Structure 1
Amino acid sequence: MTSRRKAELELLDEALAILDAGFASLPDARPGALPAGLREALLAAAERLRDTAPYHHPLYLGHMQKPPHPAARLAYSLSLGLNPNNHAYDGGRASSRMEQEAVARIAAMFGWDTHLGHLCGGGTLANFEALWVARELGHGRGIAASVQAHYSHARLAGVLGVPFHPIAADRLGRMDIAALERALAKGTVGTVVATLGTTATGAVDPLHDILALRRRHAFRLHVDAAYGGYFTLAANLGDDARRAFDALSQADSIAVDPHKHGLQPYGCGCILFRDPHVRQVYRHDSPYTYLDSADPHLGEISLECSRPGAAAVALWTTLRLLPLVRGGEFAHGLEAGRNAALALHQALAQDERFVPLSPPQLDVVVWAVRADSASLASARTRQVFQAARERDLHLAMVTMPRAMLEPFKPVRAWDADTITCLRACVMKPEHGAWLKEILERLDGAAGKYLA
């Protein structure tokens, strides 16, 4: 056992003793021995879990997965013996209060002193609640989002029975403002979804320009910042991204995922509304649930019912250790990942075998493999991807449209309308220190197939 792991377990044991002391008046109801077969079952689970990618390691840059902070892991474990349910105060009194405090700190990060919000399973559900509220408030004419927005928005529009209007993206992957204005002029759009950090490339929609359109067209504005929201704290954004994040406080609702950049275990999403009066949309009664508080229970302002109080305890504990302030330790971690992403982009731009897209707006880097044709470029990408994985370098692949790639001239002949590219989520603060190792392994993987 490493000294770090031993120290964590000792700390958890100390915290559990404090928690147990709060229930010292109760008769002991715990069995004296561990259940028979528990050791075998747990070791079997550990063996099965070895068949997975090393999401926690700096050599993993594939998907938007970031290891939880030790504060989150330990606090989550601390609360599991109680297994609180944050549907109602009666099922999770302390954890419900901790959720409200943690969510208020996230809202304050976006400049909101008053708000309505709660945690949820993830970004999809957070976005769903925002779009559902928009429909219930009478903004049901249609939902507009960029073609580079998360695919779930079109699906959610279908679930809600609301028309979906895909809006073209520019060559940087951002929503095209002229295309959005044309859609708004038709009078069929009631809600606009702006994405601050697209899943594919980390592109940041020009929120400030979208807000300018609201002066001429009436629509509700929801911001999907599930991946990128925390970057509002970063001091090293480019000018366009900074302008967009500085306009966040003017949105009607915001979705953000603490289980992405917020250092939390899955699933921990968050939905926020600027106007707390939208709680009227959620109004319902549950006489067998909401018993001992005149304040609104979290289940009264959420589409979900049972929700893990452990997620709130983990988030609250992390925020106590790492406040959401510019210039703080948490913000420096975001900035370190972004600096590493910029350095990776620069290194790729100097390698004639690769063609990176525009410099990352956040910390996602996308690059094509240079080839004679689009189809060959895609085939070589798949080969390099597999060769990198064999070298324990874990990347991702993403299919990009010709319109976004053509300005960078990755191929001589376009025999396909898309190219499969390589993608790296440079999310971990350690990635900067590991960049040399990452590039060496990428070079070895590419050298097997590329001249």
Structure 2
Amino acid sequence: MTPTSDLRDAAVADPPRADPPSAVAPPAPVPADALSGGPRGADALEPLLRTVLGALAEGAVRRGGPIAAGRPAELAGLVAREFDAPGGEDALHRLTELLAHGSADPADPSCAAHLHCPPLAVAVAADLAVSALNPSQDSWDQAPAATSLETLLLEELAQLVGYDPAEAAGVLTSGGTESNLMGLMLARDRVLGRATSGRIELGGVPGWKLDGTPRPRIFASEAAHFSVRRAAALLGLGEEAVVTVPVDSTLRMDPEALAAALDTAVRRGELPVAVAATAGTTDTGAIDPLRECAALADRHGAWLHVDAAYGGGALLSDRLAPLLDGIALADSVSLDWHKLGWQPAAAGVFLVRRAETYASLARRAAYLNPADDEEAGYPSLLGLSLRTTRRADAFKIAVTLRTLGRAGLGRLVDTCHDLARSAAETARAHPQLEPHCEPVLTAFVFRYLPEDPRLAGRADAIDTINARLRRGLLRAGRAVVGRTELPGDGPGRVRLKLTLLNPHTTPADVAGLLATVVTAGRAEEEALLRGEAQ
């Protein structure tokens, strides 16, 4: 027998045996103080991620719909009990399952109240990488690759807006509120500084009541985001510095009213500092007349800031991008990809058309961005942000754009726009639903109209029914529908709102959601009549 046959026969006679199941060692538990970075970081994360994914699924099943049923106090009590329970190795599973159970799920077709998008899985996965590595954007040596990536992404987004990327500048922000604050801060520093021959960021806001300095004014529509007024307060201008400009029935700023307001301010000796135009109001998605706003701002030497936190997503769509004609004329722009961009929050973007207008924000800290480092080729983003420590939120947006491209994201935008139009068509065909106006983007505003003639003509009763039916749907865990009020005074202004950001929702889902609203409205109508009869 040859040596080869000896080996073959030995293998047949005595095959290698695997250890019995009882002898296989279970996976070692992850130490509570394990780190997510380093060569072994992925090993530590893997079993924990399995725990999280399992708990997310269990919590979703337990929730059983778009939101957990019950009143706020009931959920708060449940959270308090879990929070106060003894800790240990199961804390991650218990609290994650609780979070999933007690969260509104924007991926559910019946969750359509807010600009609260269901994030793309690829964006969430990319965000995990950022959380694990924890780069901070305030110095190059904390985020070498992320610094370069954010710079490249902002150049691409500047081009999307219509800016020259070689001249523009920007930064990732926490969202529209921070971006609006930055835009109005730069407007204050530049316009008021020019009028007073001073540096506002150094000397402060002049006391117009004391020294005769022209009173600074910001012009924004009645439907502008509340953060415009908040920014005016934070910037030392005061909320009363904001001049409210009337809107039309779709909540779009009236350009003739803006022109009149600017002229009136100038006649009074006041200083137009900024026009804050909106591209996508939170209710109807209305887009202010951007070209007219730009021309009027330029005529009066004012800064034009465009809040496109919602409507900026239209730039991804060939169909809807023309609605933002004129946005490239803005001095600054706010975008939010955690709205119509399907990113996990936060994914805000702030852009300026000309980098030199950023001058008043520039700061130098010896331990973060010393001049000799920058001269040696080590760039810093510190002077572009209001924040110091800052996540690499550009990464998930970059991954998403490279995965789907503008065309892929544009298809998602168009799908959601189609859903809004479908909702309007369904509502128009139903006698108990009254659309407010045609959808501009992906939001649809409407109200329930009572059937009973004793209530049909009563504006106060209609408001009460619409407010109650929304809360009733929340308590039952059946739907998350938005509620808003139209500009003006008195009853008859309450409206419901569907903000349709789930591209996997179908027209049938939307029709079913509206039918749920009608059923809830009829129940509240009957309850109101019973209460009035008592």
When normalised by structure 1's length, the TM-score is: 0.84
CA distance, structure 2, for counterparts of residue 129 and residue 259 of structure 1:
18
Please say which structure displays the higher CA radius of gyration. Answer: 2
Choose from 379, 387, 396 the match for 1:314.
Answer: 396
Deviation of 1:417 (Å): 4.2
Percent of pairs with identical residues: 28
RMSD of aligned alpha carbons: 2.7
Deviation at 1:361, TM superposition (A): 1.1
Give the conservation status (yes or no) of the 8 Å contact 1:402–1:419.
yes
Quick check: which one's helix share is greater?
2
- The 3-state SS of whatever aligns with 1:125 is helix
Q: Could you report, residue by residue, the CA deviation over 1:349-381 in whole angstroms, capped at 9, with x for unpaired residues?
A: 121112111101111111122232111011110
Which of 148, 160, 163 aligns to 2:223? It is 148
Correspondence 1:47-446 to 2 at 5 A = 47-49=97-99, 50-114=101-165, 115-139=168-192, 141-162=216-237, 163-185=241-263, 186-187=265-266, 188=270, 189-214=272-297, 216-237=299-320, 244-290=323-369, 292-293=373-374, 294=377, 296-309=379-392, 311-324=393-406, 328-370=407-449, 371-389=456-474, 390=476, 392-401=478-487, 416-433=490-507, 434-446=509-521
| Other structure's SS at 1:397 match | strand
Match of 2:397, SS state, is helix
Q: Deviations over 1:94-124 (max 9, x none)?
A: 1121212222222111112321001011110
Which whole-Å CA distance do the structure 1 matches of 2:231 and 2:284 have between them? 22
Q: Which runs of 5+ in 2 are unaligned?
A: 1-35, 49-85, 194-215, 450-455, 527-534
Q: Distance in 2 between matches of 1:46 and 1:272?
A: 36
CA contact (8 A) 2:154 2:169 kept: no
Q: Deviations over 1:15-44 (max 9, x none)?
A: xxxx98xx66x999989x98x966411122
Q: 1:302 to 1:215 in 2, by over 3 A?
A: closer
In the superposition, relative to structure 1, how do residues 443 and 122 fare at CA in structure 2: closer, same or farther (>3 Å)?
Answer: same
Residue identity matched to 1:321: T
Is 1:42–2:63 an aligned residue pair?
A: no
Q: Is the 8 A contact 2:280 2:311 kept in 1?
A: yes
Moved more, 148-157 or 77-86: 77-86
Amino acid at match of 2:175: G
Alpha-carbon distance between aligned partners in 2 of 1:391 and 1:280, rounded to the nearest angstrom: 50
Amino acid in structure 1 at the alignment position of 2:464: A
Give 4+ residue runs of structure 1 displaced > 6 Å after superposition.
Answer: 26-31
Q: CA deviation at 1:216?
A: 3.4
| TM value normalised by structure 2 | 0.71
Residues 238-274 of structure 1, C-alpha deviation per residue, up to 9 Å, x if partnerless? Answer: xxxx654121111111001111112211122110000
SS at match of 1:344: helix
Matched, 1:448 2:523: yes
Aligned residue pairs total 409
Runs of 5+ unmatched residues, structure 1: 1-18, 404-415
- For 1:264 and 1:283, the matched residues in 2 are separated by 29
Secondary structure, aligned partner of 1:448? helix
Q: CA deviation at 1:78?
A: 1.7
Matched residue, 1:14: none
Q: Secondary structure at the match of 2:150?
A: helix
Structure-2 separation of matches of 1:172 and 1:219: 26
SS of residue matched to 1:142: strand
**8 Å contact kept, 2:106–2:118:** yes
1:170 CA drift (Å): 1.6
| Rounded Cα–Cα distance in structure 1 between residues aligned with 2:292 and 2:358 | 29
